[in-house]
Amino acid sequence: MKKIRFSALFILILFTGSAASQEIRVTLKEAIQHAYNNDPNIAKINYNIDAQESNIRARYGNLFPDLKFSTGWTRSNQVLKGGSINQNGITIPVPETNETSDNFSLSLRSDVTLFDGMTSYDQIDLAKLTKKQYQLQLKKQKQDIAVKIIADYVTVLKLQQVVKINEATLADSRAQLERIKIFVEVGRRTMSDVYQQDVVVAQNELAVEQAKNNVNKSLSDLAYNSNLPLDRNYAVNENEFNTEIPYSTLEAYVIQNQNTDNLVAAAYRNRYDLKTTEQNLDILQTNIEIARGNQYFPVLSGFGSYSLSGNKIDKISNQRVFTIGLSLSYPIFQGFQLDNQRQLAQINYRSAQEDIKLVKNQIALQIKKAVLDLRSLLKQIEITDRNLKNAEQNKLLAEESYRVGLGTVLDVNTASTNLNNILINKSNLIYDFILAQKQLEYYQGLLNY
């Protein structure tokens, strides 16, 4: 029995360990959607939208008459001690009394606001505008999350490419070590070259391990920001972006987006942070209308009530009263409170107008910087391509010189290291260019997933 239990436990541990070590491949869209579904800020905005839906219904309800029902029972006991009273010189005896009476009542009452300077309708508009503002904030929050996840995803891809380049360099250095050993065996080289090349191999092995560690850390960042479970291993789709892009295609993209005026105009039409700020202006304008209505217009209300009362429950309909009426109220003086509310609403409106200017200036600056970054990256890629051709030729020349005895192993390793660095730099620049493209879409308000 113990053996059976131990075997079952071993199988369970083995299965759990293999499941935990299994990689889960996540596409960019899946990572972004998972972040959307689990982001607490998005959940809070959705709660606010639901609250505004309820608020809109309540504001509409204020336009209709309300209806209140009430009923009650009271019992009173009146005790009067006996005695006498003197009235016009005549003494009148007053007997002692102890009376108990009941009162049963039932009533219906309805109140309605007939006119309040259109404030009730303004309150409805205010609730609708507030809901729309939350909806715009939701879209802006999603774009913020998307651009962050894209940056994390590109970082993983970039670091994985570094691993591949370092592994290729490691394989080349190991092959070079084997060639040197052959040269030593035939007496063309000394053991110092073997030791020197072995150090290079060790350095390349360390570079590969460090690069892999960086990949694992970047995957953890991606999982954290995507709100994925952190107790699992993840992998990304390496074909998410096309990195084999001709220089002419990159150049055409930069030329196409060199007119910053057109890009800024597109951003003004699409940016949700600008739309949110403009929506806030409409909300503040509505607050001004509400403050004016409260200050300058009277409130006309109507009411009606119907009540029944009696001293016994079965005689509750003996006394019936029906009342209907109107009431008019007007704030003549409220210690400047209503005027203060109106002035504050106007000040907030003017302040919001300045906020729009600030947001527009920020958008223009972001677009300009993004275009400059694209131009700079394009130029860096051009220069790196030229350096790459030269580095490849230098490596071939160094290896051939070493083979015929005209060069040293140091020359070969120097050329190999230079080529490795240029390859990594080229890969990083391509991914930086892709990220810069996404950033430009984000600054224009066009990044949607």
How far apart are the two ends of the chain, measured CA to CA in Å?
Answer: 56
**pTM, entire model:** 0.82
| Tokens describing residue 269 | 């039409």
Q: How confident is the model at residue 10 (pLDDT cuts 50, 70, 90)?
A: very low
Q: How confident is the model at residue 11 (pLDDT cuts 50, 70, 90)?
A: very low
Q: What is the edge-to-edge ordering of all strands in the sheet holding 299-310?
A: 68-80, 97-115, 299-310, 319-329
pLDDT mean over 73-81:
81
**194-204 pLDDT, tens per residue?**
888 889 899 99
| Tally of CB atoms within 10 A around 20 | 10
- Spatial separation of the C-alpha atoms in residues 80 and 20, rounded to whole Å: 90
| Tally of CB atoms within 10 A around 389 | 11
Q: How far is CA 27 from the centre of its chain?
A: 20
Q: What is the pLDDT of residue 2?
A: 39
- How high does pLDDT run on average in the chain? 87
Query: 């130029």: which residue's tokens?
Result: 379
Q: Are 52 and 263 in contact (CB under 8 A)?
A: no
pLDDT mean over 397-407:
83
Q: What is the pLDDT of residue 49?
A: 95
pLDDT mean over 221-235:
91
Let me know how many helices (H) and strands (E) the chain has, helices first.
10, 8
Q: How confident is the model at residue 435 (pLDDT cuts 50, 70, 90)?
A: very high
Q: What is the pLDDT of residue 146?
A: 95
Max intra-chain CA distance, the chain? 156
Query: 């972001």: which residue's tokens?
Result: 366
Q: What is the pLDDT of residue 231?
A: 87
- Spatial separation of the C-alpha atoms in residues 377 and 383, rounded to whole Å: 10
- Spatial separation of the C-alpha atoms in residues 228 and 38, rounded to whole Å: 9
Identify the three-state secondary structure at position 226.
coil
Which of 39-48, 88-97, 256-265, 314-323 has the least mean pLDDT?
Answer: 88-97
Report phi then psi at 258, rounded to 5. Answer: -85, -15
Q: Are 320 and 105 in contact (CB under 8 A)?
A: no
Listed by start position, the domains of the chain span 25-69+113-300+330-443
**19-46 pLDDT, tens per residue?**
445 788 999 999 999 999 999 999 999 9
Q: Are 143 and 448 in contact (CB under 8 A)?
A: yes
Q: What is the pLDDT of residue 276?
A: 94
18 pLDDT above the threshold of 80: no
- Spatial separation of the C-alpha atoms in residues 185 and 107, rounded to whole Å: 115
Element (H, E) at 266: helix 260-270
Query: 């699409």: which residue's tokens?
Result: 270
| Tokens describing residue 157 | 């891809």
Q: What is the pLDDT of residue 6?
A: 36
247 pLDDT above the threshold of 80: yes
pLDDT mean over 250-274:
94
Q: What is the pLDDT of residue 21?
A: 54
Element (H, E) at 328: strand 319-329
- Spatial separation of the C-alpha atoms in residues 122 and 128, rounded to whole Å: 10
419's CB contacts (< 8 A; 6+ apart) are 169, 388, 391, 392, 394, 395
Cα 126 to Cα 20, 52, 132, 355, 434: the distances in Å are 52, 10, 10, 20, 42
- Spatial separation of the C-alpha atoms in residues 403 and 70, rounded to whole Å: 107
- Spatial separation of the C-alpha atoms in residues 45 and 42, rounded to whole Å: 5
287 pLDDT above the threshold of 90: no
Strand-pair partners of 87: 90
- Spatial separation of the C-alpha atoms in residues 418 and 390, rounded to whole Å: 10
Burial tier of 394 (Cβ tally within 10 Å: 0-12, 13-18, 19+): middle
pLDDT mean over 2-29:
54
Q: What is the pLDDT of residue 335?
A: 64
Q: What is the pLDDT of residue 92?
A: 73
Instruction: Quote the percentage of the chain above a pLDDT of 90.
Output: 51
Cα 316 to Cα 78, 106, 322: the distances in Å are 22, 8, 15
Report phi then psi at 424, rounded to 5. Answer: -65, -45
Parallel, antiparallel or unpaired: strands 23-26 and 233-236? parallel
Which of 147-161, 272-286, 289-303 has the least mean pLDDT?
Answer: 289-303
422 pLDDT above the threshold of 70: yes
429 pLDDT above the threshold of 50: yes
**351-375 pLDDT, tens per residue?**
889 999 999 999 999 999 999 999 9
| Tokens describing residue 377 | 């990256």
161's CB contacts (< 8 A; 6+ apart) are 243, 424, 427, 431
Say which CATH topology domain 25-69+113-300+330-443 has. Answer: Outer membrane efflux proteins (OEP) (1.20.1600)
Q: How confident is the model at residue 79 (pLDDT cuts 50, 70, 90)?
A: confident
Q: Are 138 and 329 in contact (CB under 8 A)?
A: no
**140-189 pLDDT, tens per residue?**
999 999 999 999 999 999 999 999 999 999 998 898 888 888 888 877 77
